[in-house]
A and B are shown apart, each in its own frame.
Chain A
Amino acid sequence: MAKFIGAIVVDTEKCKGCGLCVVACPTKVIELARDVNGKGYHYAHMANAAACIGCSSCGLVCPDTVITVYRTKAS
């Protein structure tokens, strides 16, 4: 089991659905949603939340800085 568990929160209204976080995620947590936001973009969301380790890779490559990353030790 992973030592750290993490989670991300995406500001879905500001996300432009570029998909750079999807390829940057090492544990394949993020996918683009089927729904669209107010601007018509398929925003990023946590599709596989259990796999997130809170590494911040998605946050670093996000051009619009819409991702906040949380991380804590696995209990």
Chain B
Amino acid sequence: MTATTELKNIINEENVVYKKTSVLLDNEMHYCPGCTHGVIHKAIAEVIDDMDIQEKTIGVSPVGCSVLAYNYLDIDWQQAAHGRAPALATATSRLMPEKYVFTYQGDGDLASIGCAEIMHACNRGESIVVFFVNNAIYGMTGGQMAPTTLEGQVTATSPYGRDCQTTGFPMRISEMLAMLPGTRFVTRESAETPGAVRKLKKAIRKGFENTRENKGISFIEIVGTCSSGWKLSPVKSNEWMKENMFPYYPLGTLKDE
């Protein structure tokens, strides 16, 4: 048997072990090559597919690169003003408690302008899931410094590296929120390796399941990359993230009640 005929025998419907889930639409993503948003969108879509809750899920998209998330996931969506996604999700989940409501926010949205909204949503313990994508930079607007930018990190607005004397220190949002009594599940994940994606999917599933019990908010931080903003290749970005982000933003579950 030649190599080509052997390949043809493998490639048929019954041997499929991994393919694009139907929850993800066929639209081509506008994200840069290697962007972590794509992996996170896919992980959320696969969990929604596994749990068979496509008809019952409502997402709230933020302002930032992921504002167009509604073009990629085939579920119901709302779009919030900058940083106000938790407020919109609060109203949605209170009016429709049978739905699975989640917000999807970046660090410029959640950690900066939306800091008050997320604090109070967590303090009230709303039955929602919050996905917080932390890539230490404002991606969409051209790579400016964010509250989560690391000390010494070069960005468009900190060309000599972030100086903590004048701009404050990088914020560890998950640690802050884990202290609030309203949070039920606070975890920090990543999505750079197959193992990390599998762990992330477990956390997403747990978050969605928690919303059924009205015992508090589930907060899932995902440490991601921004290869355009960091001016590195996608593979180098992952290496930079492992070297610099993980020591300051350690992965793992901070709270699980």
Q: Do A and B bind each other?
A: yes
| Binary A-proximity of B4-17 (CB < 8 A = 1, otherwise 0) | 00110111100111
A72 in contact (CB, < 8 A):
yes
A to B contact number (C-beta, < 8 Å): 99
Residues of A within 8 A of B37 (CB): 63
B35 in contact (CB, < 8 A):
yes
Residues of B within 8 A of A55 (CB): 194
Minimal beta-carbon separation of A5 from chain B (angstroms): 6
| Binary A-proximity of B193-206 (CB < 8 A = 1, otherwise 0) | 11001100000000
- A interface, size bucket: 20 to 34
Residues of B within 8 A of A16 (CB): 32-34
Cβ contact within 8 Å between B38 and A64: yes
B126 in contact (CB, < 8 A):
no
- Which one of A41, A56, A63, A65 lies within 8 Å of B194 (CB-CB)? A56
| Binary B-proximity of A40-75 (CB < 8 A = 1, otherwise 0) | 010000000110001111011111110111111000
| Binary B-proximity of A8-47 (CB < 8 A = 1, otherwise 0) | 0100001011111011100000000000000001000000
Cβ contact within 8 Å between A19 and B18: no
Residues of A within 8 A of B18 (CB): 56, 59-60, 67-69
- Secondary structure of the A contact surface, majority rule: mixed
Residues of B within 8 A of A41 (CB): 33
Query: How long is the Cα–Cα vector from A20 to B234 in the complex, in angstroms?
Result: 7
Q: Which of B23-31, B165-173, B175-183 contacts A (4 or more CB under 8 A)?
A: B23-31
Minimal beta-carbon separation of A3 from chain B (angstroms): 14
- Which one of B10, B227, B234 lies within 8 Å of A7 (CB-CB)? B10
Minimal beta-carbon separation of A4 from chain B (angstroms): 9
Cβ contact within 8 Å between A19 and B238: no
Query: How long is the Cα–Cα vector from A71 to B18 in the complex, in angstroms?
Result: 9
- Given A16-B34, A19-B34, A19-B233, CB of A54 within 8 Å of CB of B192: no
B39 in contact (CB, < 8 A):
yes
Residues of A within 8 A of B39 (CB): 60-63
> Which B residue's beta carbon lies closest to that of A22?
B235
Minimal beta-carbon separation of B256 from chain A (angstroms): 24
Query: How long is the Cα–Cα vector from A47 to B122 in the complex, in angstroms?
Result: 49
Query: How long is the Cα–Cα vector from A19 to B232 in the complex, in angstroms?
Result: 13
Cβ contact within 8 Å between B3 and A19: no
Residue among B33, B37, B233 with the highest chain A CB neighbour number at 10 A: B33
* 12 other A-B residue contacts (CB within 8 Å) besides A63-B34, A69-B17: A16-B34, A19-B234, A19-B235, A20-B234, A54-B17, A60-B194, A61-B192, A63-B29, A63-B33, A63-B36, A70-B11, A70-B12
18 contacts between A and B (CB under 8 A): A6-B17, A16-B33, A16-B34, A17-B33, A24-B193, A56-B17, A61-B39, A61-B193, A61-B197, A63-B29, A63-B37, A63-B42, A65-B24, A67-B18, A68-B19, A69-B17, A72-B10, A72-B15
